[in-house]
Amino acid sequence: MNHYPIFTQLHQRKVLLVGGGQVAERKASALLQAGAQLKVVAQQTTSRFQDWFAAQQAEHIATEFSPALLSGVFLVVAATNDPALNRQVFLAAEAAATFCNCVDQPACCSFIVPALIDRSPIQVAISSGGHAPVLARLIRQQIEKLLPFSIGKAAALAGRWRTQVKQTLQHLSERRRFWEQLFQHSRFSQFVASGDEKAAESLLQQQLNAHQPLTQGEVVLVGAGPGDAGLLTLHALQALQAADVVLYDALVSAEVLELVRRDALRISVGKRCGNHQVQQQQTNELLVKWAQQGKRVARLKGGDPFVFGRGGEECAVLQAAGIPFRVIPGISAGLGATAYAGIPLTHRDYAQSVLFITGHQQLAAQSHGWHTLAGAQQTLVIYMGTLTAAEISRQLIAHGRAATTPVAIISQGTLPQQTVSTGQLHQLASLAQQAATPALIVIGEVVSLRQQLAWFQTSSAHESVAAA
């Protein structure tokens, strides 16, 4: 994040505007609407400026800019057609520790002015950080279509009731749920849109009187996918935005965590091979603890909760504790990472089945059924198998799989730093030693199709091919 977004209160604050042309006029109009005490430094101005001066809405300083004019000024805007003068204003503002914006000169800005959607008191700001203001404006136009004009009236009405709601509902989480119920699951917004504010307030009062605090929350097991935040489902995003507490795994990417509601409590319960930061029993206890306190808990898991994610165990614990829960599926790494690597899991000519297994357990156990795993015309996808890659390779070859069978190891699947190493089954151990983790092993003839499907590979993927 290159800029910290803020909305500044300018009411009755002194603002200095340097410039008197049409661009400065647009800036002045917005500053006056925000209630600023505007001083305009310009020897020549447009007729609209003259109207503002005549109505004493702004003060005209018909001189050249001087750093002394910054005394007592809250912020300054330079909007002249002289880049050198704008830079002079910026440097003077920097020396005076005053916020400054120079129009169309990002390097001379300590703050930027975003594209704005104004449904006062609701405001939505879109910024490109000065890189692509036209793109920001186009995004604003798209969002404008989604927001009803009455949303500002709804916010203003809610604001008048905020104190009463706060006095009635003592806990922040209860107030949040009350407002969510009012805005999303009642006719409140419809009444406001139709202009019937009396009916809207009556409904608000009824719901406030009838509101019952929750003594028990719920848990949502959310599949975070293999890493790329764009692969989250809509339901998963909604759950992350609604959660009061989020327990997340080590494999959940930073991009996905950025989508969690800002004020939600985040708790890492990550487990990586050889480093169990939090034991499963502790995770189970945390889920029950927070839900019993009436919190909405999101259990955020890499991939899919029910694919090697121990989601079934956690659901059983919640069921035994009488806590309501639901599961939101996610794209498993076996599906997402292979797709991003350009490797189809099945193919009419090469593989009629696919098996998903984990490789971190004792592979010598007969329960693995090596004869089944070594079968031809199938794809084998192995999670957490890099540490046991040598044993996997030895057993598969010993049970009939050709030593020349194509293999791939996909590291950091679906992320910009994804890498794909390919080779043959007898080379699997050496490939695994070089692979970054987390990694996914793919074994089968479908791996050879990766070269033919190169057009499908993400531009960020890097391939290293083992020597034959």
Catalytic positions, written as ranges: 249, 271
Report which of 367, 359, 362 is spatially closest to residue 443, judged by C-alpha positions: 359
Per the annotation, binding residues for S-adenosyl-L-methionine are 226, 302-304, 307, 332-333, 384, 413
Alpha carbon distance 359, 370 (integer Å) = 12
Annotated binding site for NAD(+): 22-23, 43-44
CA distance 47 to 58: 13
Whole-angstrom Cα distance, residue 423 to residue 463? 11
For the beta carbon of residue 49, count every other beta carbon within 10 angstroms. Answer: 23
Residue type, 88: Q
CA geometry: angle 26, 30, 32, nearest 5 deg: 115
Nearest to 428 by CA among 398, 410, 408: 408
Half-sphere exposure of 129 (CA within 13 A, CB side): 4
3-state helix, strand, coil in the chain (%, to 5): 40, 20, 40
Q: Which residues of 158-181 are buried (b: 16+ CB within 10 A; e: fewer)?
A: beebeeebeeebeeebbbbbbbee
Give Cβ neighbours of residue 221 (< 8 Å, ≥ 6 apart). Answer: 299, 301, 305, 311, 314, 315, 325, 326, 327, 328
Number of DSSP helices (H) and strands (E) in the chain, helices first? 17, 20
Whole-number Å distance between alpha carbons of 439 and 198? 60
DSSP assignment, residue 70? G
CA-based radius of gyration for the chain: 30
List the structure tokens of 285.
């206890």
- Which among 416, 468, 429, 421 is positioned nearest to 447, based on CA atoms? 421
CB 13 within 8 A of CB 74: yes
